[in-house]
Every structure is written in C-alpha cells, then in structure tokens.
Structure 1
Amino acid sequence: MASEYHLHGIELSPYSVKVRSYFRYKGIPHRWIPRSLDTEGEYQKYQKLPLVPLVVTPDNKGIQDSTPIIEYVEALHPEPSIHPTEPTVRFISVLLEEFGDEWGNKWMFHYRWAREADILSAAGRIARSMMPAVDEAQLANGIAMVRERMVPRVSFVGSNPQTAPQIEDSFRDTLTILEPHFAKRAYLFGNRPAFADFAMWGQLYNAWTDPTPGAIINATTPNLLAWIHRMLWPRAEGDFEPWSSLAPTLTPLLERQVGGLFMPWTVANASAIANGREEFSVELGGRTWTQKPQKYHAKSLATLREKYQALSDKRALDAILDATGCLAGLRA
C-alpha cells in the first residue's frame, strides 16, 4: 500500500491549491501532481468527472470536490484541527468556507476571463502547464483552445455585462474589509488556519496571480497579501480567537458580503433550480442580478443547511446570523 496521497491539480485551479495548502498545513505525506498530458494515466483511472482536484488515497480511493476531500481527510487526521472549538466561530468558519468556494469563485473567474491581459496570462499558463515540451506552434494552438473554451464559461458563474460591476465591487469591498482584519492576526480566525481560510485563500491567491486583480491586491492590501503568501505553507502560530475579538472586523464581511449578497443569491439560485427556471433575477444590494441557475450550488446550499440544522444550541449563533442577514437562508 502506498504511504502518501496523490493530489492531481493545476496551479490555476483555486480548489486544487486549496487542498494542497490543507495537506501542507496538516503535514500529511502527499505528492502534488500537476495535471498534464504526461500524468493522465492515474487521473483517468480514478476520476469520475473531468475536474480537478482529484485525490487518490493511500488505499487507492479516488475523491473529487475540494470540500469533501478536506472533510474526508480531516476525519482521519484530526490534528492540528482546522475547526475552532467555540461552536459559534466553528460554524461561521463553515459558512465562510462555503462563501469562499461559491461566491469567491465569481471574483476569480470573472477577473480571469473578462479582460484581454488576464485572458492571455491565464490561457498561456494553463496551456504551458498542460502541454510541456511542445513547439511554439503547438503552444499557440493550445492557448487558443483554452481561450475558446474558457471565455464563454464566465456565464456559468453569473458574470455578464450586467453583473460585472457587482462582482468587481464585491471583490474590492471584501479586500477593504479583510485588510484591517489581517492587520491583527495571521489567519481568518486567529493565529492558525481554519476551514474557511483554505477556501477563501484558494480564490484570492488565484486572483492575485492574474494581472488585474493581482495589481489591485498588491497596491491596496499589504496585510491580505501577507496572508496570501502565508497560506502557501500555513502553520499554527497560536490559537483560534473567540467571536468577541473577531466580531469587530469579521461582522462587516458577514453583513455586507455573506448576508447582503451571497445568501440571497444562493437562495434565489436554489429556488430557480427547484422550479425548473432557465434564468433568475434577484435584488442584491439595490441592484438586479440576473443569470442562469447553477445546479451544484443548490446542492451545496442544502449541505450547508444540514450542517446548520445539526447544531444543538444555536442561540448565540442565531443572534449573529440574524443581525447580519445570514439566518433566513439557512432556515429555509
């Protein structure tokens, strides 16, 4: 039996680097295998969907989807834990993990494929990673293929001419909120990484590698940039904090981004799926957001609601969630 996990991914996949950062933090033996034409054998053997990351466990089990991967491995390797001990903080970390995966991906994906400079940068890096040792003509063809495939897919995350300003405003507002938060601590919930750090970081790290959002981060948020670097090889530097010390700088994120934008969006998306609609509109922060519904996110919301319902004592948590606009969507 092998003694290490195999992690198939690509550097430009926020979910791949999310899992890699987790494995590095836990100190779990693993091999990072950048997906390319040269490494397709094991990937094709274990993948069920043509997506990364794919983890092959030491007992030859293939797992896909970053959140289930981390939850599966965390159950086997619980220390050092990525979950704060205070129940309220623990669930808020779970909520922000969902927010990072499902709303933060809108920032990253939109910026990557919305402007020519970012398109050329990303398509070139993806093609080079997937097709090592090819000549210039083959590389140029590969870049064109990546571009042709990916640019139209921005609609999948809800990016369109109507929503583009909303996505970019959300990105900038999140940076504004997190910058003073990271001035006082190394990670989102104190001085060790939590579940939410890996998801939020995967999106923001990938955005930072692209020209346009990277320039915004470099120019405006040095504390957040330090966290981006820190999460490449995260380590425990202290303890998790109680909500009382986190609240002054994290509450605005819950209120303006999670409760104000993400929760009404994900509820409207789930409703559209349930009712078989091909498009939905929802008011977010006083502006209309319109897109085709996303099936995976409806399943993801259902899982988040199950985690909320499983909590035994919700009184302290509900007060925070209600005040920040997050509660109604979790109770539906």
Structure 2
Amino acid sequence: MASKKDYRVPLRSQDLNVYILDISYFSGKLEAYLKYKGIDFKRIELQWDDWATTIAEKTGLMQVPVIHDTVADVWLRDTTPIIELFEADEGLSKIATGVLPDCPVQRFVSRLLEDFADEWMWRPALYYRWGFKTDRDLYARRFCVDFLTNAYKGLVPEFIAKDSIIRRQVNDYIYMDGIRDEATKANTEQLYLDVLDILQMHFEKHQYVLGSQPTMADFGIFASMFRHFSLDPTPAKIMRQRGPAVYEWVARMWNVKNQGPGSPRVSAPDGDIPDTLYPLFDIISDQYLPYLNANAVAFKNNKTKFDFTVGDACYKFNVVPYRVWCREKLQDHFNDMSSDDQNAVRIFLEKRNCFKELFSDGIIRSNKDHNGADPPFCREKNYNLMEKVKMYTGGTPWHESQESLPNSFFMVCTVVCLILGLIFFGLGMLLELTD
C-alpha cells in the first residue's frame, strides 16, 4: 500500500480516473480543485453497479468522489486528505499555485473554514435538497436517471424507485441529522441565510475567501454552494435574490485558472484575515466548534446520541466518529506548529472566541482505523450482497447511522420495492402475451 511519503501525483494526461456523481456535494469540490491545479483527469460518472462492485471492493466504502491513480494502481478517497496529499507533492508544487497560505494563521484559518464548510454546511445543503417538494422530486428523478438505471434495468417502475429514494434520503439526511421539528427546520434554514449574507458582503469586496486567489477555504465552501445551494431550485432562488455576489463567486471558482508555482495571495496582512469574515467566526465559535466538542465527548463516553442546542432549536444528533477525527486533525495541525506559530494562531483564535472551543475537554482521539488505511489511501474489502444493500439503505461504515431500526426498515423497503418491481414486470409480460 502506498504511503504519504512515497506517493507522487501523476502529471501526465488522464492518469487519474475520478469517479463522481454529478449531483454530489464533495464531487464538485474535488473537480474544482483538480481543474484549478491543472491536473488532467478522466471523469467517470458512477452507476449503481459500479459503486456496488468496483468502488466498494477497491476502497472498502460506497462513497464518492474517489480517485484511481492508474499508474501506481492506488485508490484515494476523502477530499480533505486528498487535497493535503496533493499540496505536499513536490512535483505538483513546481507547476501550480498552492491553496495553503504561507502565513501560519491564514493557513490554519483556511483549514478551519474548510472543515466548517465540509461538515456544518452539510446539514442545510441536504435539508434544502430533500426537505422541499420541488427539490426532492427533481433529485429523485435525477438519482434514477443518473445513478440507478443499470440497477433496476426496467424491473421497478420509476414511481416506486423515486418513492424509495425520497424515503431513504429524507430519513438519512433530515430526520437522522436531527431535523425533526419546526424549530430545527427554522434553525437549519437560518444557518444557510446567515452564511449567505456574510459571504455576500465579503464577495462584494474580495474575489476569493482570503484574497485574490483561491485557498483551501474556498474549495470547502464551494462544495455546498456549488452542487447544492446554487443549483437546487429552492436555495438557488434565494441565492440569486439575496447573494448575487456569492452566485458570481461560484462561477468564478469553476473557471479560475492557476497562476503557476507559489503560495496563494491573501489580501489581509500576516496574522489576520479579511474582517468581512469575522461574522463567520461567530457562527464557528457559537455553533460548530461546540458541536465538534459535544460530539467528541459523547463519543468518548461511548454514547450513540447527544442533545445539542442552537438558539431555540434542540437537536438530537447521532455521534459521528468521523467528526471526532476532524476535530482531532485540527488540533494536530495546531500542535505540529512551532511555538511561535502556535502563539500567533492562538492570538487570532482567542480574538474570535475559537481557541477555547477548539480545545475544550482536551484532545479526544477517534481511534478510527478507516478500514485499515490512513486517509486518503484505501484498503480493498469484499462485501456480500446483503452488506451492500445495508450500505445503500443506511450509509457506508464511513458515515453510517447509529440507529439500526430505521436502517433495517429501509432495507425491508428496498427489498419490497424490488419484489413489487418483479410483480409489475411479470404483469407487463403477461399483458403482452394476452394482446
């Protein structure tokens, strides 16, 4: 298995196969990064049978995006470790602008903003897609056409397939993510509006998050703003009316050209960031970092659920081991700095009320083995059919739900849909024979 020390990013044309879903949150993030770095790759849109065979077996997971380096025969997953790996590559750094600033404060902030955007904006992004009829009907249809065509092969009527998809997505990404009443719905909607308003004011003055070139923070924020908020009907309408500068930034990110080797240019002086972003750190310090801490403490205490309050909304969240790891990595990035750099970062974070929240309750290790491989690397694993069905209905072991009953219920629903599909198929054949 390759390691971070000996892996080299292939720079020849289309040595990388990138498996994506065109509607995927993180697929858009990775595509934008690779495009910006000038890496020529082969774009492969997955069908269910690819996911259930090649991807599951080669990576041990059923998630996208993943990269297959066809030269080294290495598989890579998880966008943040992939970007970190590529940024450390000497060959790539000689031809492409980096996305991590030289200034330790701006470098750490770039990572913190990326993590916040990846994990905390996930809930409103999925809520808007599956919580509103216009949006969920559209994406259930796209899911059938783009992803499940080869799986059903005409055996299951589309209306049954769409209903199964909607039930699964609403359960996994709304109900199971704590959105269970009007207060949590309103709070989730307000999170999108607040972040959109902050970014609107920021992008009226700045081209990118930290300055005149993209950083890691841009690609993290881009994940939700591109494939979800700027494209899904309900949040896209809000963005066009309330955040046109954000809408413009999304297009700019998709088209930005790399300027050659060097570090990204940041508009603020060393040790600081644009002050238009300060309100975003109020959300990070009041909501996201306390959430990461509560999730980690619950994990440490062997709990599967915990209550978390934001304003008037009380969420009942599942413990997510992956986010324990996210918090751990942020703490490790800080602890790996020199004492002078740590002091500079600490001064900035304390001004923004983030330092205490990040290190509250100390370092809690996730002890996550990532299927026996250190991200972004993967280890092969064989799954039987029922394991694959469980992964489809309840999530992969990477982000799997903590509640077994709803997952079992939706496994049964999937099997019932297949049986009904066979019945409809048989009736159709019988009618043809009797005509």
Regarding TM over 0.5, the answer is yes
For residues 273 and 205 of structure 2, what CA distance do their matches in structure 1 show? 10
Distance 2:154 2:249 in 1: 38
Asked if 2 retains the 8 angstrom alpha-carbon contact of 1:89 and 1:243, the reply is no
The answer to whether the aligner puts 1:304 opposite 2:330 as a matched pair is: yes
Matches within 5 A, 1:1-332: 3-37=14-48, 39=50, 42-58=54-70, 59-76=72-89, 77-78=92-93, 79-132=96-149, 138-153=157-172, 154-161=174-181, 162-205=183-226, 206-236=228-258, 239-243=265-269, 246-255=273-282, 257-285=283-311, 287-312=313-338, 313-331=341-359, 332=362
Equivalent-residue separation in structure 2 for 1:11 and 1:328 (angstroms): 39
- Aligned counterparts of 1:217 and 1:187: Cα–Cα separation in 2: 17
Q: Can you list the C-alpha shifts for 1:150-202, whole angstroms capped at 9, x where unaligned?
A: 11012343322242211111110001111111112221111211111111111
Change (3 A) 1:243 1:97: farther
Deviation at 1:16, TM superposition (A): 1.1
The CA distance in 1 between the partners of 2:308 and 2:54, in whole Å, is 43
**Contact 1:111 1:118 (8 Å CA) reproduced:** yes
Contact 1:191 1:236 in 2 (8 A): no
**Partner residue of 2:401?**
none
Structure 1 Cα separation of the partners of residues 38 and 73 of structure 2 = 20
Aligned partners of 2:156, 2:54: CA distance in 1, in Å? Answer: 28
- Deviation, structure 1 residue 297: 1.0
Aligned counterparts of 2:220 and 2:240: Cα–Cα separation in 1: 20
Opposite residue 221 of structure 2, the aligned amino acid is: M
Instruction: Say if 2:350 and 2:356, in contact at 8 Å, map to a contact too.
Output: yes
Distance (whole Å) between structure 1 residues aligned to residue 77 and residue 349 of structure 2:
30
Encode CA deviations 1:117-157: one digit per residue, 9 max, x unaligned: 22112211122111458669744343223212211012343
- Structure 2: distance between partners of 1:300 and 1:62: 21
Cα distance in structure 2, aligned partners of 1:309 and 1:263:
17
Residue type of the alignment partner of 1:319: I
SS in 2 for 1:163: helix
**Which segment drifts farther, 308-317 or 79-88?**
308-317
Distance 1:201 1:156 in 2: 24
How far apart, in 1, do the equivalents of 2:266 and 2:157 lie?
50
Determine if contact 1:109/1:157 at 8 Å carries over to the other structure: no
Deviations 1:68-123 (A, max 9, x none): 12222222223310111221111100000100111011110111111212211221
SS in 2 for 1:7: strand
Q: Which protein shows a greater Rg?
A: 2
CA distance in 1, matches of 2:176, 2:17: 29
Shift in alpha-carbon separation, 1:233–1:160, aligned structure 2, 3 A: farther
Separation in 1, partners of 2:107, 2:311: 27
Q: Are the equivalent residues in 1 in contact too, given 2:18–2:41 (CA < 8 A)?
A: yes
Aligned residues: 331
What is the deviation of 1:67? 1.0
CA spacing shift, 1:137–1:287, aligned 2, 3 Å: closer
Please tell me whether the aligned partners of residues 55 and 62 of structure 2 are also in contact (alpha carbons under 8 angstroms). Answer: no
Q: Which runs of 4+ in 1 moved over 6 A?
A: 133-137
Alpha-carbon distance in structure 2 between the residues aligned to 1:243 and 1:39: 48
SS at match of 2:206: coil
Rounded Cα–Cα distance in structure 1 between residues aligned with 2:78 and 2:240: 30
CA contact (8 A) 1:46 1:61 kept: no
Q: Look up the SS of the partner of 1:232 in the other structure.
A: helix
Moved more, 100-109 or 275-284: 275-284
TM-score (norm 1): 0.91
1:243 and 1:290 map into 2 onto residues whose CA distance is 41
Q: Which amino acid aligns with 1:320?
A: F
- Secondary structure class of the residue paired with 1:55: strand
Query: What is the CA-CA distance between 1:304 and the residue it aligns to?
Result: 1.4
Unaligned runs of 5+ in 2: 1-9, 363-435
Which stretch has the larger CA shift, 217-226 or 321-330? 321-330
CA contact (8 A) 2:210 2:274 kept: no
| Kept after mapping to 1: 8 A contact 2:281/2:352 | yes
The alpha-carbon distance between structure 1 residues 73 and 157, as it changes in their structure 2 partners (threshold 3 A), is farther
Which SS does the other structure have where 1:33 is aligned? strand
Secondary structure of the residue that 2:316 maps to in structure 1?
Answer: strand
Residues 123 and 147 in structure 1, CA contact (< 8 A), matched pair in contact too:
yes
Identity, % of aligned pairs?
Answer: 26
The DSSP-based 3-state class of the residue aligned with 1:85 is coil
Query: More displaced, 66-75 or 211-220?
Result: 66-75
